[in-house]
Amino acid sequence: MSKSYKYYDRSHRFDNGAIQAYKDGEKPLSKWTKKIMVAEFNKVIDSIDFFRITPIYKLTKEDVKQHIKKMSKEDLQKVLIKTDVHRTGNYYMNTKFYRIPNNLEITSFIIQKIYKPKEYIQQKLDLKY
């Protein structure tokens, strides 16, 4: 008779938290391919109200999508947000799970990384930082 653990699903080799994390769109870093990340970022970008950003920064959704598409997989992974650690596999290893940033977090990323305000100000005012 094998032991039954309420918190661990042996058929999936995940703890119950990991199963729920997958349902919520969270994954281990190894499961985030560039194609999946770009598609998920585009979904979030489509849901952002660019009317608030566009008048100030002169960005369009297409500009941001093109920039994200050009980014390397490693750079996109740096933007992912660590959510939790779950037990996975036959040996119950700790696995970190990540998610795509939400609207507010991605807006901050757009302004800081894509728009690059220092470069813009430097170009417009000929100042050196």
What are the pLDDT digits (tens) for 110-122?
Answer: 767 766 655 555 5
Q: How confident is the model at residue 123 (pLDDT cuts 50, 70, 90)?
A: low
User: So what's the pLDDT on residue 19?
Assistant: 83
Q: Nearest 5 degrees, angle CA 45-CA 47-CA 51?
A: 85
CB 51 within 8 A of CB 61: no
pTM: 0.72
